[in-house]
A and B are shown apart, each in its own frame.
Chain A
């Protein structure tokens, strides 16, 4: 496969850009924030996304999706990143649907993927327990009980927690904390007895939450795939999720960079445009070069998901680490180049800085993924 977009993909990218600019732009994010929206997104916008088929972009046609693959979903996510759009696309489509597709039985895929593709099901992954991404540190226990399992523990930073109808809860069914094996995933309805959801607001104005599971009793049908066998599918799903996050970070960084460039061409000091200063020009040019590298590694990683085969983890950590680095550079420089106005709440550039950091930290930040990259490289 060549590292180039085909006609169909270019059209998808353009139509996503057009829709989001109109319906889910940065000003919409600001309005959602200022209205103290508890869901963090506009249900009408989500419905329109579903109608365009976005909920099923990467879901196989056999399960009611479009079967465009992750390269297609990645292009939409890149545009989502550009516009700082909020919707269940990340939690439900990129993460939850992927995990069901990777881990679920055929019957479960049939049931859940078709519901997600049709926009009838919002679902989110409940994985993290501490301050940092560390799947092997999962302590929430699932103990066989009656005809099913009993779960006790809590989960942090669960995206879309207040609107999700179902949670994919990662639990330990054996072994010690710190071991990657013996993890299971359960589909837990939001109204299950013993499940309490605590809403939390994050810096990027999206809704997250904390889950408390107190003697939550589940039937065997709640188990996704087989008991204690989630490790591999979870790892691949997280690789895919991180590549999707990298695609969002790419769009976000490109937009923040372009806005800064525009400012450099407008703002005058010392009687001239500040973009004529070589000190700023060279910093802009270096960012541009980094963004070109970022584009390439994201596209390579997206295509690798669709091609299957080994080595996805290395590419996923490479793409996430590189995009964390580039997004941090560009979002910081964007504020600096805007000067004082960039520090104001009224100006939009600060919103890019905020969303960038949340995306960076989701499922492992730069430190996590560069470390993993080195490990996978054998050192």
Chain B
């Protein structure tokens, strides 16, 4: 038996013994995954137990090094772990911006002390992080951000406002882009700092979206403190880290486009019936559905190919921009199809008959996918300039 097969057997046995039955149900939304933090939102009492058991093995972040709370697994082993979890329909034990965004940036740019301090609590789900990037006047033009950080010796005094800070009202710490110098070009003088949100100088206000939900906040800093030991990288060089982290954010958002959660084809046949030769009776819808499924298939193949090429050292530049652009546009198409398939029932807003307006709210939420983390237009700009080498105006 190869080492990998042995790993699979052991993993299967461990998961079988340790994954609570209640954690083996399909989640409707990634928002139902446990996010951890000082005051965690508990949707099921077993969530914390499941997270703790996985964290003990480092399997909340199986690809991170062991010394920072990870599992130290190889790419192949991580794949096996995911397959084995999928086999028993196990929920992810923990998902957070600490894992998907800050972690990779800290591993690459953080000092040893910073990694030791911040990574293990992320892996154990003890600290929940949010991202302070956009500002009211710095959206697509992120580098023009104005939140000011003034040097006060061993800390920075921070004043300003962030917007679209996801789950800021539920988070414990923030990784934040601040301006430490405004004398040079806008890309210079930006610093990447971490600070604790549990302070009276910081207030958050949820923003109600068209979906009726409030995943985003406005966040205000009124003489907030960020200690200098929590400056990541050099002062004034935060833009490089910001861009690196954005590629991870884009990959995370684009993955929404990859795996359809329900069978659109079955829903379509149920709604419209099929003709004598088994074809969906509405030919126009049939074509839209086929076009969507074809693109979704080619998109999934592309994500797999780029992952495999990266492992083989062949890699495609700006892959994250292509994924972000295509994946989010695909997800919007899927949601439009879902509405078309379900008709007026997809537009029900509340009540049990409409599952609390789930379809409708998902559809509305999906509109933000091609805006957050850099709009589709920004991704097309990046592809044009960085990949295709097209000239500036």
Q: Which residues of A contact B (CB under 8 A)?
A: 2-5, 261, 264-265, 272-273, 275-278, 280-282, 284-286, 288-289, 292-297, 299-300, 318, 321-322, 370-371, 373-375, 377-379
Contact = CB atoms under 8 A, between A and B. Distances in A.
B312 to A, nearest CB: 5
A377 B301 contact: no
B295 interface: yes
Given A264-B390, A276-B390, A377-B290, A3 B305 contact: yes
Contacts of A374: 279-280, 286-287, 289-290
B290 A289 contact: no
Contacts of A284: 384, 388, 390
Given A295-B305, A322-B295, 13 more contacts: A4-B314, A265-B391, A278-B381, A281-B381, A284-B384, A285-B387, A288-B322, A296-B302, A300-B304, A300-B305, A373-B293, A375-B279, A378-B265
Contacts of B279: 374-375, 379
A40 B228 CA distance: 73
Top 3 A-B pairs, shortest CB-CB distance:
A281-B384, A296-B301, A285-B383
Contacts of A3: 301, 304-305, 308-309
B165 to A, nearest CB: 29
Interface of B: 265, 268-269, 274, 278-280, 286-287, 289-291, 293-295, 297-299, 301-302, 304-305, 308-309, 311-312, 314, 316, 322, 325-326, 377, 379-381, 383-385, 387-393
Contacts of A265: 389-391
Contacts, number: 129
Given A282-B384, A285-B384, A289-B325, A377 B308 contact: no
A2 B298 contact: no
B287 A370 contact: yes
Per DSSP, chain B at the interface is: helix
B316 A292 contact: yes
15 contacts: A4-B311, A265-B390, A273-B391, A275-B391, A278-B384, A281-B380, A282-B384, A292-B322, A293-B295, A295-B302, A318-B297, A322-B295, A374-B279, A374-B280, A378-B265
Contacts of B301: 3, 293, 296-297, 299-300
A289 B304 contact: no
B9 to A, nearest CB: 23
Nearest to A7: B312
Contacts of A261: 388, 390
